[in-house]
A = this chain, B = another copy of it.
């Protein structure tokens, strides 16, 4: 089909385009640009990453969510250097692309928050708390007291503590994308996983702070633990209450300045970024703040803003239609023009979110898997890590427990952060670090296909 659609002259053009790529690489090396601060390379790489992500969405043809395609595309591009192709090394060290990637995951969790229903979330709140608690305690105990000492003998107890801690935090971005790609974000299972992952992040933060204190000072006071705990819980509760009060007020004030769709967009995105920043200042992951912001933001708060352009556009289209048609169309358009905030944020998501997932894939170092003994240890720890999270699904109540359990499996970048802090403190060796990296890779890459399989199976 592809071949039939492309005429001869088109193929020739493709060859010209392909031939231009090395010229670009050359220009980059020789620094051919003059004068202007050179962001050209970054612009080019954003374009390449976005197109690569879209090519990877071919996996949808075989029923897989596009996030899996983006991750695998990242893994492939990021490791081409192993077979002597160094073309794709640039983005790994491009500060701007790393920033856009981080902004992407913040936007994603803001979007997920917008699509999540606060009421539904409250309904599953207790169960999410239980799932989170089990999903933190079990992997932590397994890592620290069982698989750590057993599979990595001779390391210090603090090392095992860090291994256990690294196994606790759920990376919710991947699970949320899978549920979203398959249109299952509104299921109770999805809401429980989202709630549990947020609670889990708070618990993980407390554990990290405590474990770090033990590693540096040898001990930690109960007061410190209480302080960290209080601060974290205080933030979440405060963010939700304050956000609920502030959003309608801000909507009203800014509608006095302008009632266009641009104002609605700006208010929403600024709200999300403000909460993301607040979360990080308090020591939580910015994605927790962005999620909370999305959760409290309700389209009704911003009902003052309309997409005047679309309304007048469609009105002009049906200008000569009979009166009753015009009225009906007008009503339908009013509803549509009162666009939900998530539709406004979507193009920004299209721009930034794929960068995050491709970059996450690119950070995977396949060569760490080549050492057989490390690989075996990592496989065993991955198994323990999965068991701990899957078991937490038991607390999810009358829903599909396996879905919830598997949804909690990916460790993603949070586990890597724990590992790198441990390495910074000198208690996590290169060997243990490699093990944690492999565990993160495996849990991240195995979740999308498993969840997809479970979601497509009709019965639980």
User: Are B44's CB and A274's CB within 8 A?
Assistant: yes
Distance in angstroms between the alpha carbons of A40 and B328 in the assembled complex: 47
Q: Which of these, B35, B98, B329, contacts A329 with CB under 8 Å?
A: B329
Tell me which residues from 182 to 211 in chain A have a Cβ below 8 Å from any Cβ of chain B. Answer: 208-209
Distance in angstroms between the alpha carbons of A280 and B331 in the assembled complex: 48
Distance in angstroms between the alpha carbons of A47 and B273 in the assembled complex: 6
Q: In the complex, what residues of B have CB within 8 A of residue A99's CB?
A: 39, 42, 96, 99
User: Are A269's CB and B50's CB within 8 A?
Assistant: yes
Distance in angstroms between the alpha carbons of A321 and B252 in the assembled complex: 34
- Whether, in the assembled complex, A227 has its beta carbon less than 8 Å from a beta carbon of chain B, the answer is no
User: Are B36's CB and A417's CB within 8 A?
Assistant: yes
User: Are A2's CB and B421's CB within 8 A?
Assistant: no
Among A242, A245, A350, which residue has the most Cβ atoms of chain B within 10 A?
A350
With A265-B350, A281-B33 as known contacts, state yes or no: A102 contacts B39, CB within 8 Å: yes
Q: In the complex, what residues of B have CB within 8 A of residue A103's CB?
A: 39, 43
CB distance from A408 to the nearest CB of B (A): 20
Tell me which residues from 309 to 364 in chain A have a Cβ below 8 Å from any Cβ of chain B. Answer: 309-310, 313-314, 317-318, 321, 324-325, 328-329, 331-333, 335-336, 343-348, 350-351, 354
User: Are A16's CB and B242's CB within 8 A?
Assistant: yes
User: Are A36's CB and B266's CB within 8 A?
Assistant: no
- Whether, in the assembled complex, A37 has its beta carbon less than 8 Å from a beta carbon of chain B, the answer is yes
Which segment, of A256-264, A426-434, A446-454, faces chain B? A256-264
Q: In the complex, what residues of B have CB within 8 A of residue A417's CB?
A: 35-36
Tell me which residues from 395 to 433 in chain A have a Cβ below 8 Å from any Cβ of chain B. Answer: 417-418, 421
User: Are A347's CB and B257's CB within 8 A?
Assistant: no
Residue of B nearest to A339 (CB): B310
Q: Which of these, B263, B310, B347, contacts A344 with CB under 8 Å?
A: B347
Distance in angstroms between the alpha carbons of A32 and B277 in the assembled complex: 11
- Whether, in the assembled complex, A229 has its beta carbon less than 8 Å from a beta carbon of chain B, the answer is no
- Whether, in the assembled complex, A158 has its beta carbon less than 8 Å from a beta carbon of chain B, the answer is no
Among A1, A253, A328, A418, which residue has the most Cβ atoms of chain B within 10 A?
A328
User: Are A318's CB and B314's CB within 8 A?
Assistant: no
User: Are A258's CB and B40's CB within 8 A?
Assistant: no
Q: In the complex, what residues of B have CB within 8 A of residue A325's CB?
A: 324-325, 328-329
CB distance from A145 to the nearest CB of B (A): 24
User: Are A347's CB and B265's CB within 8 A?
Assistant: yes
Please give the number of chain A residues whose Cβ is less than 8 angstroms from any Cβ of chain B in the complex. Answer: 103
- Whether, in the assembled complex, A385 has its beta carbon less than 8 Å from a beta carbon of chain B, the answer is no
CB distance from A168 to the nearest CB of B (A): 14
- Whether, in the assembled complex, A149 has its beta carbon less than 8 Å from a beta carbon of chain B, the answer is no
- Whether, in the assembled complex, A376 has its beta carbon less than 8 Å from a beta carbon of chain B, the answer is no
User: Are A351's CB and B269's CB within 8 A?
Assistant: yes
Binary contact track A97-128/B, C-beta < 8 Å → 1, others 0: 01100110010000000000000000000000
Q: Which of these, B96, B252, B258, contacts A54 with CB under 8 Å?
A: B258
CB distance from A307 to the nearest CB of B (A): 10
Q: Which of these, B24, B36, B310, B343, contacts A278 with CB under 8 Å?
A: B24
- Whether, in the assembled complex, A133 has its beta carbon less than 8 Å from a beta carbon of chain B, the answer is no
User: Are A276's CB and B321's CB within 8 A?
Assistant: no
- Whether, in the assembled complex, A285 has its beta carbon less than 8 Å from a beta carbon of chain B, the answer is yes
User: Are A266's CB and B35's CB within 8 A?
Assistant: no
User: Are A317's CB and B332's CB within 8 A?
Assistant: yes
Distance in angstroms between the alpha carbons of A310 and B346 in the assembled complex: 13
With A5-B252, A257-B55 as known contacts, state yes or no: A318 contacts B310, CB within 8 Å: no
CB distance from A42 to the nearest CB of B (A): 7
Q: List 10 A-B contacts (CB under 8 A).
A: A13-B242, A17-B246, A24-B281, A36-B280, A96-B99, A266-B354, A309-B343, A317-B335, A325-B325, A344-B347
8 extra interchain contacts, Cβ-Cβ under 8 A, other than A46-B270, A265-B351?
A5-B253, A5-B256, A27-B281, A43-B106, A51-B266, A54-B262, A318-B332, A348-B351
